[in-house]
Structure 1
Amino acid sequence: MDLVLAILLVIVSLLTRGGMCGDRLLVNMTLVRRAAAIGAYCLDGSLPAYHIHRGFGAGARNWLLQFEGGGWCNDIASCAERAQIRRGSTRHMNKLETFSGILSNNATHNPDFYNWNRVKLRYCDGGSFVGDAKFNNGTLLLYFRGQRIWQAIIEDLMPKGLRFAKKALLSGCSAGGLASYLHCNNFNNYLPNATAVKCLGDAGFFLDSPDINLYHTQRTFFQRLVALQGIQKNLDDNCTNSLSDPKQCIFPQYLLRYITPPLFILNSAYDVYQFHHILVPPSADLHGIWNRCKLNPKACHPDQIHLLHAFRVEMLTALRSFLFNSSRGGVFINSCFAHCQSESQDTWFAPDSPQMHNETIAESVGDWYFGRNVSKKVDCPYPCDTTCHNLIGGV
């Protein structure tokens, strides 16, 4: 009877807190029931959510929060479409989420953070968790409440142990990586002074850069995003007071100097999203001259490679002060054609993961967080890095 009871308890634990499916760790969704009290809704009015897998042992009082990514919507039409899919509604999301890479609970796959409390914040506002507005024309109602979603999730996690955190890392990938820059100071303010708070932006260093036709496509996109979703009031005051156009503070390159906790910047110098949407957006290549190059960097012509190298230099120039003046900052800028490298096991920590100076991304981040080694690594230009996976189809 004791054996049967023990087996039943294990099954219940796996169903309620997450379980292994083969080599995958599947973690259940937690809806934030109290979010409605502060008007924290997804685009469609559904409740926000997160997935949590509890830490243990030496990591029981350490917390890793990972913002989910997934682009943005900056007009009513695209936000209305988004509200009907998982990017805008928890009603359409999978209730079980795979935890891998930096979220893995396997010490072999995630040596420094495997036993931490690990939380994935689901993305359903389309504005990198910083909007605060609402649209209602009588027939269509959309909530742009990313800032309140962030607040609701943090307040839900506080009594679950976050308020007693010894170490904390705020991370995210893509639009979630941008959110980790935008919320780093605020995260630090929520936690006790004794907590070692640090932040990691993965593929979130979106450049304010002109496209191949010298139009500022991404700047225009972000300006519309900020205006629609009421983001400006939630941008860093020190940054907005320093620029003639406060909306620009959504770009990490302008915000960087005002982020106070230690920060790690993980990005590809040839980030696939930025290659496809900032440097060569569809509007700048109506005849598809770049199509083959976008699908395979080996098919790029020399003049296209030259422009890609120039884009890399622009990113390094934007990071120059951080690279040379930040004593607490970490950097891993490789030359892989990829986008988001912390959540995928292949790129985070595996036998054939991307490396620089014989260190994987996971090892570099761990060295930085725990102060084991100075970790500022910048790769040589493409195609010199033979460890790249070049996940060019991943966007």
Structure 2
Amino acid sequence: MERVIEEIYRTQSRRVLATLIRLLGDFDRAEEALHDAFAAAARTWPTDGIPGNPVAWLVSTGRFKAIDTIRRRARFDASQHHIEDSLYSPDATEIGDMEPIEDDMLRLIFTCCHPVIPADAQMAMALREVCGLTTEEIAHAFLIPAPTVAQRIVRAKSRIRAAKIPYEVPGREALPPRLDRVLHVIYLVFNEGYSASSGEEVVRADLTAEAIRLARLLLTLLPHPDVCGLLALMLLQDSRRTARRGEQGSLVLLADQDRSLWDHAKITEGLALLTEAMRAGEIGTYTLQAAIAAEHARAPAAEETDWRRIAFYYDLLLAAQPSPIVELNRAVAIAMAEGPAKGLDLVDSILGRRELQAYHLAHSARADFLRRLGRTDEAIAAYETALSLCRQEPEQAFLRKRISELAATPERQ
């Protein structure tokens, strides 16, 4: 039973939290209620059994736990009475109706992306509240200190309370100004699911599925080329999910994947959405990334991938969205098209600017170029650097395997 509750927490706790935030009107109060609800589940479910609708049970239990807490505090603090009264609103009693709960994650994202909150705080808060990442994991993702992340989240919550920001999806006329940030959050949620920043799993399917669901819902609210492009990108990437995980959860690189395991229904849908997005004229960054993913999806085998075309798309993406991460991906594509020496020069240039020094994939890419050039000792050193920075266990295992293989090469015996 303990494992079942842990799995429900891992896959459903953010949905429960999102609804509790709507019902309780406060992030901190909702987080406390969430923990109280799961504590109650740990006490009662082993004897009473798992309820038919665990999410609704947890939401209901968390809300009533919060009411009890507010009642106790109201005995000593008259200012708490209005909070207690608000928790009995008609909206708050509709726990059995799961329809609003399905939209609560999108409401939460729009709240996190309100214009009064600074952009950097929006991203940190969304990853904390929507993905459930720790401040340390968010800090690692953004390559900044953990206390900085914690301060941003605290200040964002304070601004939400002070400005009395409504917990809602804004009206259609107010959607476009916030669309870019909302799409970015959904993209971050997907990325955390597609390649978990830490832990035992290569993929967190609950997060990739939630990101795709949110994009579909957003597309019905606001048909827009960028939404089409993002949904296309996520479907094309997620189509490879099963093939990315080998025996005992090991990481399988794109070149080594069994393409018969790819989800071709998702590929077909993704390609159709990409075509629709590209018809719009101005092509956004998500659409360019989807076009790159489409080149992989169309290739019958790894060796038939059109890397020059992919490098061209990265040129366009770099012009539209300059970043060292895009530069790194472009370097990999150029290395595949023109050889590892060219890729190594490009990565060394990025690292030479002191960018991506703490990003393990930059050192891993550099190590791979060195390995392919036969510079074994340098490759081992670069892989060891990547390993020291990596926090995901399957990637760590892959890097150790590479180091072991290179250490056993004949020229080093």
Query: Which TM-score applies when normalising by structure 2?
Result: 0.24
Higher strand share: 1
Query: Which TM-score applies when normalising by structure 1?
Result: 0.25
Q: Which has the higher contact order (CA 8 A, sep 6+)?
A: 1
